[in-house]
Chain A
Amino acid sequence: MAATPADLSTVVVGGGFAVAFVFGAVASRVNFCTMGALSDVVNMGHWGRVRMWLLAIAVAMAGATLLRLGGWVDLPKAVALRPQLPLLSLVVGGVLFGVGMTLSGGCVNKNLLRLGAGSLRSLVVLVFMGLASYMTLKGLFGQWRVTLLDPVRIDLAASGWPDQGLSTAAAQLFGLPAQQALMLTAGVVVLALLAFVFLDRGFRANTAQMLGGAALGGLVVCGWYVSGHLGFGESPQTLENIYFATNTRTVESLSFVAPVGYTLELLMLWTDQSLRVTFGIASVLGMVAGAAAYALAAGRFRWEGFGSLADLRSQLIGAVLMGFGGVTALGCTVGQGLTGVSTLAIGSFIAVAAIVAGCVGTLKWLLWKAESDD
């Protein structure tokens, strides 16, 4: 008997929750934090957590490529791979997100983990971040984004590109067949990442970070499979195949900025029958639940508030920058930094570079400020 739409939606929502639950627990266990990883480099010269992040990217990229080559998931339908490159949005949004996540003590992923571990400060950061993300999706900030930033774009479709993947660039430049270009490009990038990650003896000796990085990358692949394969079916209204229970109405994996905004929307407009729990909303809740489960099991759960007025001000500014920047750059350190780059989308690499630049610049400013404050 064929699955009903309700069944498929339940699978997508349940799958999204389960994937994010495990992600939250694993990320808490191995202290996965992209801002923390960059802080380790700037403040200690230690690359361990950056290597874990890069390992997660390599695994996610390899898995997503296999899903695409095997025909299980139609990845070019993902938002990250659309054949338009909004350069200004990616750069400005990415830099602002990077600044914001440093001021807020971590990216959205980290604040979800902190909330699960009892941080009421992170709850406030997430509410403000979610409001800003929703304002950037549909409100005042969205008007600024659409009129000032998004128009500066390269329309790759006009040049005959079906998507903005690195593999498509290779196919166009070298005249390779699409599948061959995909295998070649993904293979080169994944091997380069793995070489950088595993050439370090210290990282090879850190089993927790190795397993953690591999697991987090694998969970991004699971997310693609849940929404792009299990949740892909016939709509009873249009009799066309659609992606069930996703906010973007297409294939998704883990991403948190817009989904936090959609979570607030659902809570505020609960009686609106057109709104449903989606993969993204379920993954936000799953992250918090997974982090809470780990924190309780490890004895690390504790209530936490703001340290001072200066702390509150810094966190709120960071939250708004993250909400605006994350939506504008089409994702956060997970949405673009793991999920996006796993598709080999050129825009995702640009967004990640901008996020890293914003974060590192702010970390250096904080260090300079601390050293000059006497």
Chain B
Amino acid sequence: MHFDQELDASGLPCPMPIVKTKKALAALSSGQVLRVWSTDGATLDDMPTFARHTGNTLLASGEEGGRYYFLLKKA
């Protein structure tokens, strides 16, 4: 799936994946897509909650090579 920017938050514990995602999204324009990688299991719950409560859209998520990925479309 297409994405405009990528953020690797692997190895970072909560709350850093969310903090860095928030910062990365702020640099994007509306409609652009950010792909986030994380190894923290808490992001499985945190990222959908973050998307829901900040108005951004979680387009897809999954696991690949022992890491989690999330595709977020900026509102």
Contact = CB atoms under 8 A, between A and B. Distances in A.
Interface of A: 31, 33, 35-36, 39-40, 43-46, 48, 102, 104-106, 110, 114, 117, 121, 300, 302, 304-308, 311, 315, 363, 366-367, 370-371
Contacts of B40: 105, 304
Interface in B7-30: 10-16, 18-20, 22-23, 26
Given A36-B42, A48-B49, A308 B14 contact: no
Contacts of B18: 39, 43-44
A72 B14 CA distance: 40
If over half of A's interface residues share one DSSP class (helix, strand or loop), that class is named, otherwise mixed; here it is helix
A121 B26 CA distance: 30
Contacts of A110: 14
> Interface range on chain B: under 10, 10 to 19, 20 to 34, or 35 or more?
20 to 34
A366 B14 contact: no
B19 A367 contact: yes
Given A44-B50, A48-B49, A33 B19 contact: no
A106 B13 CA distance: 8
A46 B46 CA distance: 11
B13 A315 contact: yes
Contacts, number: 78
Contacts of A121: 13
A366 B53 contact: no
Contacts of A106: 13-14, 42
Contact of A311 (B11, B15, B26): B11
Given A36-B46, A300-B41, A371-B23, A46 B53 contact: yes
B32 to A, nearest CB: 18
Given A39-B18, A44-B54, A302-B41, A311 B12 contact: yes
Given A48-B49, A300-B44, A304-B39, A43 B19 contact: yes
Nearest to A45: B53
B48 to A, nearest CB: 11
13 contacts: A31-B46, A33-B42, A36-B14, A36-B42, A44-B49, A45-B53, A48-B49, A105-B13, A105-B15, A105-B16, A117-B41, A121-B13, A302-B41
